[in-house]
Chains A and B, each alone.
Chain A
Amino acid sequence: MEFNWSLMLASYGTVFTPGVLFIICVGVTAGIVIGSLPGLTATMGVALLVPLTFGRPPLESLSMLLGIYCGAMYGGSISAILIRTPGTPAAAATILEGYPMARRGEAGRAMAMALFASFFGGIVGALIMTFASPVVSSFALEFGPVEYFALAIFGLSVIVSISGRSLIKGMMAAFFGLLISSIGFDPISGFPRFTFGLMEMMEGPPFIPTLIGLFAVSEVFNEVQKTGQIKQLKANLNQYLPSWADIKYCFKHLCRSSFIGTFIGAIPGAGGDIAAFISYGQAKRTSKHPERFGHGEIEGLASSESANNACSGGAMIPLLSLGVPGDAVTAVLLGAFIIQGLQPGPMLYKEHIDIVYQIFASMMLAQFVMLFIGMAGIRLFAKVILVDRAILTPAIFVLSMVGAFAMRSNVFDVYTTLAFGILGYVMMRYDYPLSPILLALILGPMAEANLRRAMVISAGDPSILFSRPIAVVLMGLAVVSLALSIKSQKKVEARLAEMERTLEKETAS
């Protein structure tokens, strides 16, 4: 597939018309709003708006949906930073650094970096998608059950990096997550496990309600406990873009995470949530200040946000060139393409190469639109944090409950959210990290189902796990990353202990 420069320029011309630009703006704005609301994910946003595109010309419809996709990926970070509620699962890793930053009065700085990192990641993703689709997509097809299992194991090695102070407590949280991820249908035999006969439990703990409960509701309880004692948060909101110093400081992580995000996005079935966590772990391992992670380190925020936005470009790669969706959103987009009478895959390149290039162009433009709309909205969004906590906290609680219910209109999910809210609160009180549970819930089923699938294929012979090069490399990386993380964890512990000693000395004298 020869790259066609003149066609690319022509397609930018087609997309750069008032009508299409307007549609992209509408899509991005809708996406940011959908993404920032808990319970409404990028997948749902795109799915709900697909029917609006029936009977519209392909370019208009698809650029609107792409706008929603990109906008929602960024939108998730807004509520993650400001109210500790991941608007989308992909923003869960953003909470780890974004929320502590906001608490420290740096909401403006965090928001500006999240926007810039999203933009940067989106651009890298769109560039790789434009220039390297055929190469990347052939790599994506190499992923079978064995490779997915190895990828999940590699992802799980990040747990050390998100364990906070105590590795033991992090492991306890992770194993609890793995344990509850085994609730529901057995992935191979279909036998319902630990469901207590409840239909709602058949597919395991519902993910979004669990996420909202663990992070948002637990924080609500935490705030309620401190009513009357807490100071109103201050926030410096005069920033639209991160300072040059911040960009320079994070540049290495921005680049690396954008590449990681694009490649993980290109692997079918692995999406923004996994990409964000893996990049975050990577950033912590290679950072000069790993001890600052978890306390509002801008490097961590930059890497998770750039990774999840780069993921959208990555996920489009197998969709366009193979007709295989790269994540849940592109699976819905596949349907939208077909309704337009376009079958993504090699035939699309042969028959509608103009559409392919127009999609490249609108994906790229959507990033710029996202940057401008994000900049225009940043002060408006960030004002949320200045609202009196006595009003904001109950509002977050209501929003969380509605978000939990909205996912599949089921009251059971509201109870799940409450239960995990209480659990999260108790865990926070006793200093247990919450994100290992989440990572285990994302990767546990992936590891289990693919290991089992591999075992069915090999008729129970475990040597299949070491028979494939990509899988062996990934598992090797998992071991290396585990060793490095444990080493860096020791460094973190030593530095924190040292800091505490100096603090004690100062207070004593």
Chain B
Amino acid sequence: MKLKSMLVGVAALVAGAFSVSAMAAYPDKPVTVICPWTAGGGTDVLLRALSKAAEKHLGQTINVVNQTGGAGAIGHNAIRAARPDGYTVGMITFELNSLPPQGLVPFTWKDFDPLMRINSDPAALTVRKDAPYSTVRGFMDYAKEHPGEITIGNSAPGSVWHIAAGLAAEKTGVQVKHVPFDGAQPAVTSLVGGHIKAVAVSVAEVRGQVQAGNLKILGVMSADRDKIFPDVPTFKEQGVDVQFYTWRGLAVPKGVPANIKAKISDAYKKAFDSPEFQEFAAKASLNLAYQNAADFTKFLDQNYKDVEAVMKSLGLAKK
């Protein structure tokens, strides 16, 4: 009898100790990271490389889960609605700021707790190598002289590159036809095959064809020149003041305790700085652009206002 009660006591003590340690030592089980885009795509590959590097700093397995569909809406919603215990992290992308103005989702970036920005890739205007123009101005002049001839491919209707091309055309006052494709890759292929006149996608997405000598970049829509193609001038240098970027970052649902948030951020920041991730990013020609939580929040606020304004003026936003 005495033995039995002693055993019970010991069991209770052990259980108590475990429950205390569970509260104290985050993380004590694998962490899930939601990717709103398909396995094998740019966002997915980046997130997997980063998470792999973060595992050893976090001390737990990190599982990347692809919750795709609805042009990113489903994955973003899953991040927002996850339990705020720090065991669900997510990658948020540009679409978080372009879906709400279209009236497609009932939430905005304000429903998330941003952790850090990872990269930010500018749009580039790319044409065939044999095209009769080699500057942004030349392209726009050609478009003015040949109305109805210029077609610019983008990755999807209302996508970041659709908006970028629309903004560039609006700033220069030319009439172009926007041709949405099912992703950036088919648009680039179509340009190589000569079925459209130009694409407005990121430098990483046209790099291979440019290096192969099939395409040439007329300009990048960023503040500074591209690292891989330093010879290509920016739009601003060519007198067209347009800057447009896509971005990716990490966020958690609202309500995650501050100490846990700090642990996640810390692990991912170390992963970001690790040589293996830096090497990966260089190979994948990603434009790394780290921002901490405070700066990322400010950035998101400004970006949301900009995107909404552009989409309204292009007629892409919900009236």
Contact = CB atoms under 8 A, between A and B. Distances in A.
Contact of B74 (A55, A410, A449): A410
B215 to A, nearest CB: 11
A30 to B, nearest CB: 15
Contact of A199 (B39, B41, B70, B208): B70
B67 A457 contact: no
- Most-contacted residue by chain B among A46, A189, A346, A453 (CB, 10 A): A453
B148 A187 contact: no
Interface stretch (A174-182, A200-208, A237-245, A278-286): A200-208
B74 A408 contact: yes
Nearest to A195: B70
A203 B195 contact: no
- Most-contacted residue by chain A among B41, B44, B180, B284 (CB, 10 A): B180
A339 B280 contact: yes
Contacts of B276: 54-55
B70 A46 contact: no
A189 B178 CA distance: 10
Given A54-B280, A55-B276, A268-B189, A345 B209 contact: yes
Nearest to B39: A47
B119 interface: no
B40 A341 contact: no
20 contacts: A47-B39, A50-B40, A50-B45, A144-B190, A187-B182, A190-B158, A202-B70, A203-B70, A268-B189, A269-B186, A331-B40, A335-B41, A335-B45, A338-B283, A339-B45, A339-B49, A343-B207, A346-B213, A346-B214, A409-B66
B260 interface: no
5 tightest A-B CB contacts, nearest first: A144-B195, A190-B157, A332-B40, A47-B40, A47-B39
Interface string B215-233: 0000000000000000000
Contacts, number: 145
B157 A187 contact: yes
Nearest to B177: A456
Contacts of B172: none
A187 B157 CA distance: 7
B105 interface: yes
Contacts of B254: none
A473 to B, nearest CB: 17
Interface residue tally of chain B, by bracket?
35 or more
Interface stretch (A94-102, A288-296, A317-325): A317-325
Interface in B185-244: 185-186, 188-190, 192-196, 207-209, 211-214
Contact of B71 (A185, A335, A345): A185
B69 A410 contact: yes
Contacts of B104: 192, 199, 202
A456 B151 contact: yes
Interface string A454-468: 001101000000000
A459 B177 contact: yes
Contact of A343 (B102, B189, B208): B208
Given A144-B190, A335-B40, A199 B74 contact: yes
A456 B40 contact: no
Contacts of A459: 148, 177
B64 to A, nearest CB: 8
A380 interface: no
Interface string A42-72: 0110111011001100000000000000000
Interface string B44-72: 11001100100000000000011111110
Interface in A338-374: 338-341, 343-347
A397 to B, nearest CB: 24
B77 interface: yes
Contacts of B195: 144-146, 457
Contacts of A185: 71, 156-157
A16 B138 CA distance: 54
A411 to B, nearest CB: 11
Interface string A141-153: 1111110000000
A269 B195 CA distance: 15
Given A141-B193, A345-B209, A51 B52 contact: yes
- Most-contacted residue by chain B among A188, A189, A202 (CB, 10 A): A202
Given A142-B193, A143-B193, A199 B157 contact: no
Contacts of A142: 193
B190 A145 contact: yes
Given A323-B212, A343-B207, A190 B180 contact: yes
A322 B151 contact: no
A223 interface: no
B316 to A, nearest CB: 8
A144 B192 CA distance: 10
A493 interface: no
B71 A202 contact: yes
Given A339-B45, A410-B74, 9 more contacts: A43-B40, A141-B192, A324-B188, A335-B284, A338-B283, A408-B74, A409-B66, A456-B177, A459-B177
A269 to B, nearest CB: 6
Contacts of A408: 66-69, 74
B42 interface: yes
A198 B280 CA distance: 37
B26 interface: no
Interface in B79-106: 102, 104-105
A453 B68 CA distance: 25
Nearest to A457: B151
Contacts of A203: 69-71
- Most-contacted residue by chain A among B39, B66, B71, B213 (CB, 10 A): B39
Contacts of B156: 185, 190
Contacts of A457: 151, 177, 179, 195-196
Interface string B124-153: 000000000000000000000000100100
B73 interface: yes
B288 to A, nearest CB: 15
A453 B180 CA distance: 7
- Most-contacted residue by chain B among A199, A338, A346 (CB, 10 A): A199
